[in-house]
Amino acid sequence: MRVSGDWLAHGGTQQVLAVLGPVAFAVGGCVRNDLIGVPVADIDMATAHLPDQVIALAEAAGLRAVPTGIEHGTVTVIAQGRPHEVTTFRRDVETDGRHALVRFSTDMLDDARRRDFTMNALYADAGGVVHDPLCGLPDLIARRVRFIDDAAARIAEDHLRILRFFRFHAWYGDPDRGLDAEGLAACAAGVGGIARLSAERVTTELLKLLTAPDPAPAVAAMAQSGVLAAALPGAGARLLAVLVHLETAPPDPIRRLAILGADTGALRLSRKDAARLDLLRDGMAKATPPHELAYRHGAVAARDIALLRAALFEVPPPARLEADIALGAAARLPVSAADLMPGLQGAALGKRLKALEQRWIDGRFTPSRDDLLN
Mean pLDDT, residues 55-78: 95
Instruction: Please give the mean pLDDT across all residues of the chain.
Output: 95
Mean pLDDT, residues 134-158: 96
Note whether residue 230 is domain-resident: no
Task: Render pLDDT for 229-279 as a digit per residue (tens, 0 to 9).
Answer: 999 999 999 999 999 999 988 999 999 999 999 889 889 999 999 999 999
Which pLDDT does position 102 carry in this prediction? 75
Mean pLDDT, residues 152-163: 95
DSSP letter, residue 365: T
Note whether residue 249 is domain-resident: no
Confidence of residue 343 (pLDDT cuts 50, 70, 90): confident
Note whether residue 31 is domain-resident: yes
The answer, yes or no, to whether residue 97 has pLDDT greater than 80, is: no
Which pLDDT does position 65 carry in this prediction? 97
Task: Order across the sheet with 130-131: list the strands.
Answer: 64-69, 74-79, 82-88, 44-47, 24-27, 123-124, 130-131
Note whether residue 42 is domain-resident: yes
Task: Render pLDDT for 114-140 as a digit per residue (tens, 0 to 9).
Answer: 999 999 999 999 999 999 999 999 999
Mean pLDDT, residues 313-340: 95
Which pLDDT does position 100 carry in this prediction? 58
Alpha-helix residue ranges (DSSP H) falling in 247-345: 253-260, 271-285, 290-297, 299-313, 321-330
Q: Which residue has better confidence, 102 or 134?
A: 134
Domain total of the chain: 2
User: Coil, helix or strand for 369?
Assistant: helix
Note whether residue 149 is domain-resident: no
Q: What is the CATH number of the domain that holds 69?
A: 3.30.460.10
* Domain stops at, among 90, 125, 141: 141
* Domain stops at, among 119, 141, 163: 141
Note whether residue 10 is domain-resident: yes
Q: Which residue has better confidence, 31 or 101?
A: 31
Task: Render pLDDT for 106-115 as a digit per residue (tens, 0 to 9).
Answer: 999 999 999 9
The answer, yes or no, to whether residue 184 has pLDDT greater than 70, is: yes
Q: Which of 74-78, 139-143, 340-344 has the lowest mean pLDDT?
A: 340-344
The verdict on whether omega for the bond into residue 342 sits within 30 degrees of 0, i.e. cis, is yes
* Domain stops at, among 141, 176, 194: 141
Mean pLDDT, residues 156-180: 95
- Which domain, by its residues, includes 354? 335-373
Note whether residue 288 is domain-resident: no
Note whether residue 157 is domain-resident: no
